[in-house]
Chains A and B, each alone.
Chain A
Amino acid sequence: MTARRIAVVTAGLSNPSTTRLLADRLADAATRGLVEAGESVEVDVFELRDYAHDVTNNLLTGFAPPALASMIDAVTSADGLIVVTPIFSTSYSGLFKSFIDVIDPDALTGMPVLIGANAGTARHSLAIDYAIRPLFAYLHAEAISTGVFAASSDWGGTEDGAAQLASRIDRAGREFAAAVARRERKAAVDLWDPASFLGEGRSFGHLLGGLAGE
């Protein structure tokens, strides 16, 4: 059986990045979950920082430069997607949203998505649910119910009454792995196969026939 492919998109702007750190933890947890379910896993991690200029260029010209195009291909054809964004002004970062904006709005339909977010203080901890989750609802992605928010203090392991970051990551990873494992393997759709829009064995005359009400 072919490996499940997980794409990780992380929108941290600095290097090294705490957002990336969270992304790696989530990817590890998802991998553990899938391996326990008997799947083999491949993980591709993309830092949006590396694509920031390409994303802007795409917004202005309408087409993705080659590096961004192949990254978008990898993301939209994955079996599951892990996204992690820093929280800026109570929401996802502008770069993260710009990346979403250059993807075909139908490309993430049905995709299991694990949402992570990272901010300086716990005051932003609801941003996942009021800002990021609606975005993926709009895209018809299957965002799993547990999102993982990490504030700076979480990395010190302070006991503040909520579950420890590590256990939240573990739980989210398991839920995400289960969603990916449940998902049927996608048959690759070849846009350049006439059957994909004409129907198997049909010609353009079929499209004309449909329009004539037949």
Chain B
Amino acid sequence: MQFGLFTVSDVTEDPTTHRTPSEAERIQDVLTIAQHAEEVGLDVFALGEHHNPPFFSSSPTTTLAYIAAKTENLILSTSTTLITTNDPVKIAEDFAMLQHVAGGRVDVMLGRGNTGPVYPWFGQDIRQGIPLAIENYNLLHRLWREDFVDWQGEFRMPLQGFQSTPRPLDGTPPFVWHGSIRSPEIAEQAAYYGDGFFANNIFWPKEHYQRLIEYYRRRFEFYGHGTAAQAIVGLGGQVFMNANSQDAVRQFRPYFDNAPVYGHGPSLEEFTEMTPLTVGSPQQVIDRYAAMRDHFGDYQRQLFLVDHAGLPLKTVLEQIDILGGEVVPQLRKELAQNRPAEVPDAPTHAARVAANARGELPVAGGTLEREATATASTASTASTGSAFGPAATKGN
């Protein structure tokens, strides 16, 4: 089980002081936050991608490379990398490069993004969001696994004998999480490739994510990658803590009430009840998040949002201290209890290199012969499937 932080990289006024940090300051703060995550024993730091104010994070691999140099064990990831508007060739290259720089401590979370105009800014059409996510990831998946790629699709220039460089570290591509808050297609995509599925789990009631995750688990099993319980699930979450729960509520309320994403809407109490936001004592956080496995099954990664809505750096670092000192050690214990042996560990580069050597990395579409037995229209896809299937994986 991995625990960590994910940030949306917003630059927001502190509603208690009416001071807005500069971009420069907030960027430095996030670098400090990431390093502190390692210092208190967290496993993962993940960063979003945005191309519009008030967010600063347009270039996650640059940021993560710096953090890689300043840390030793922290796994670096994104939340999310836009698979719809980035060129999959550039994603393949950037993250393979980051893998080398970081000694393998890299995975990536892909998403469609939530800012409509980002599509035209990068020359794409938002109405093609799902097809872009499907086609671009298919190419990305191949670029990391095949040394020379011939490729033709709807949205990008064709490639002839193209090799993306550097090749993935140890011939093993970064682990991929597919993040989604509403589309079963993306859960299906994660299941098809045997990749991980990450549920943001911040903004919406848990019933919504339960459906998505159950769907992903069921389809993971359908494609023959393992049992539903063996699917790789990550969850977001959001907490604010103080030794005294009343103080936590008093401290956090002005930030909640003015937060750009939900401020002036539901009350803190309503939002706490509807979503996993937990504002209170460390024990309340432990109880709430230890129960996540009851809602979603045993899972592999828990990320917390702690640094948004204008919270000052000092407060954020204190929150990370509480997470690392009290909450995560206890959660590790509780989530390890009665964890079925078949539930896999969270993905790491070392484990994936070993699995790759044994020929045990998941193969796109699974190992089933389903496509071959289907109707004529799906039979034609079997050839597409084989192009990035078992043969492709051996290419490394």
Which residues of A are interface residues toward B (Cβ below 8 A)?
Answer: 56-57, 59-63, 65-66, 69, 191-192, 194, 197-198, 201-209, 211-214
Q: Are A203 and B371 in contact (CB under 8 A)?
A: yes
Q: Is the interface of A mostly helix, strand, loop or mixed?
A: helix
Chain A residues near B219: list those with CB within 8 A.
194
Binds A, one of B165-173, B185-193, B316-324, B337-345: B185-193
Q: Are B153 and A212 in contact (CB under 8 A)?
A: yes
Q: Are A208 and B265 in contact (CB under 8 A)?
A: no
CA distance A206 to B185 in the complex (A): 12
Chain A residues near B274: list those with CB within 8 A.
65-66
A57-B270, A208-B134, A212-B152 given. 10 additional CB < 8 A pairs?
A: A61-B262, A61-B266, A63-B204, A65-B205, A192-B211, A197-B185, A203-B222, A205-B378, A208-B381, A209-B378
Q: Are B205 and A66 in contact (CB under 8 A)?
A: yes
Chain A residues near B211: list those with CB within 8 A.
192
CA distance A69 to B208 in the complex (A): 11
**Does B24 sit within 8 A of A, measured CB to CB?**
no
Chain B residues near A65: list those with CB within 8 A.
205, 266, 270, 274
CA distance A208 to B219 in the complex (A): 16
If A56-B265, A192-B211 touch, does A202 touch B378 (CB 8 Å cutoff)?
A: yes
Chain A residues near B223: list those with CB within 8 A.
203-204
CB within 8 A of A209: which of B184, B204, B384?
A: B384
CA distance A66 to B265 in the complex (A): 15
CA distance A59 to B265 in the complex (A): 8
CA distance A104 to B224 in the complex (A): 35
Cβ proximity bits B360-396 to A, threshold 8 Å, 1 near / 0 not: 0000010000110011011011101100000000000
CB within 8 A of B205: which of A63, A194, A198, A211?
A: A63
Closest B residue to A203 using CB positions = B370
CB within 8 A of B385: which of A192, A194, A205, A211?
A: A205
Q: Are B184 and A207 in contact (CB under 8 A)?
A: no
Chain B residues near A197: list those with CB within 8 A.
184-185, 188
Closest B residue to A54 using CB positions = B266
Closest A residue to B387 using CB positions = A212
Interface centre among A61, A197, A198, A206 (most CB of B within 10 A): A61
Q: Are A204 and B262 in contact (CB under 8 A)?
A: no
Chain A residues near B378: list those with CB within 8 A.
202-203, 205-206, 209
Q: Are A60 and B135 in contact (CB under 8 A)?
A: no
**Does B348 sit within 8 A of A, measured CB to CB?**
no
CA distance A191 to B185 in the complex (A): 10
CA distance A211 to B219 in the complex (A): 21
- A24 CB to nearest B CB, Å: 31
Q: Are A211 and B203 in contact (CB under 8 A)?
A: no
CB within 8 A of A214: which of B134, B188, B381?
A: B381
Q: Are A205 and B365 in contact (CB under 8 A)?
A: yes
**Does B264 sit within 8 A of A, measured CB to CB?**
yes
CA distance A174 to B384 in the complex (A): 55
Chain A residues near B377: list those with CB within 8 A.
206, 209
- B238 CB to nearest A CB, Å: 13
Provide 6 A-B residue pairs closer than 8 Å at the C-beta atoms, listed in order of the A residue.
A60-B262, A63-B204, A197-B185, A203-B378, A205-B365, A212-B384
Q: Are A60 and B384 in contact (CB under 8 A)?
A: no
Interface centre among A56, A57, A65, A205 (most CB of B within 10 A): A205
